[in-house]
Amino acid sequence: MELFSYFRSTAAYRVRIALNLKGLDYQLSPVDLASGEQRGADYLALNPQGLVPALRLDDGQVISQSTAIIEWLEETCPSPALLPRGSTERALIRGWVNTIACDIHPLNNLRVLNYLKNTLALDEAAKTTWYHHWLQLGFEALEQQLVATPYCAGEQLSLADVYLIPQVFNARRFHFDMTPFPRIRAVCEACQQLEAFTRARPENQPDAATPPASG
Ligand SMILES: N[C@@H](CCC(=O)N[C@@H](CS)C(=O)NCC(=O)O)C(=O)O
């Protein structure tokens, strides 16, 4: 398998964690978002949406969208399970996942921030206020919902942890104050003890030396 990734991409970071937790080997192919490689013809031929991540399977098929990739991993490599057995428990975790994947992350994507800056002429401070606003709303809700003993859903790691840790990384990068979120911080500390999470960290990626871009 080949993962098209960018070291600071929150969505690619999720997939790296999931691949590591499942113990799967993959080749990592960096796509340089800072220089716009995601909009080049070669990458658009793989993923017409021009976003990372994308996962090229051994048979050549390419899956786009981190949630589609992670669900595919969960279905094809069910152990260790990242969702519990019960339908209600699964739905609770998917709800937390969607808070991050649907209601926080899309609003801080590079192309969205670039639109705010280049088309709507917002300055850096206004852009940061925008991002912090959506983070605040999402994290406030999660802080009330997460079990955090020690992981999002309790003792068993789940997809919620896979999605939360990259979003917190990104929040900290944009100087968002995490002090009011002790449960979220506790989950992060617990996950960072695990090799699957540390190996997936942005600074541990081969493309970590390239100039920064958001994501
Ligand atoms: N919903 C998509 C979001 C993917 C996405 O937004 N990727 C960002 C990096 S985190 C990206 O490739 N941005 C490039 C751009 O905005 O030009 C997913 O979960 O895979």
Domain boundary at 57, 80, 103, which? 80
Rounded to the nearest 5°, which phi and psi values hold at 154? 120, -135
Look at residue 208 and tell me if it is in a domain: no
Please list, in sequence order, all residues whose beta carbon lies within 8 angstroms of the beta carbon of residue 15, skipping any fewer than 6 positions away: 3, 5, 53, 55, 66, 69, 70, 73
Ligand 1 centroid to residue 20 C-alpha, Å: 20
Domain boundary at 80, 98, 129, which? 80
Q: Assess whether 22 and 70 both reside in one domain.
A: yes
213 within 8 A of 109, measured Cβ to Cβ: no
CATH number of the structural domain spanning residue 27: 3.40.30.10
Q: Assess whether 114 and 171 both reside in one domain.
A: yes
The tally of domains found in the chain comes to 2
Domain boundary at 80, 114, 147, which? 80
Q: Assess whether 15 and 66 both reside in one domain.
A: yes
Partnered with residue 64 across adjacent β-strands are 54
Look at residue 210 and tell me if it is in a domain: no
Ligand 1 centroid to residue 38 C-alpha, Å: 10
Distance CA 183, CA 144 (A): 8
Per the model's pLDDT, the better-predicted residue between 39 and 212 turns out to be 39
pLDDT at residue 10, as a whole number: 97
pLDDT tens for 163-211 read 999 999 999 999 999 999 999 999 999 999 999 999 999 999 999 976 5
pLDDT at residue 100, as a whole number: 98
The first and second tokens of residue 131, run together, are 């991002």
| Predicted TM-score of the model (pTM) | 0.96
Confidence tier at 212 by pLDDT (50, 70, 90): low
CATH number of the structural domain spanning residue 188: 1.20.1050.10
Partnered with residue 55 across adjacent β-strands are 3, 63
pLDDT at residue 195, as a whole number: 98
Range of the domain at 154: 87-197
Tell me, using a 6 A CB cutoff, whether residue 9 lines ligand 1: yes
pLDDT at residue 209, as a whole number: 77
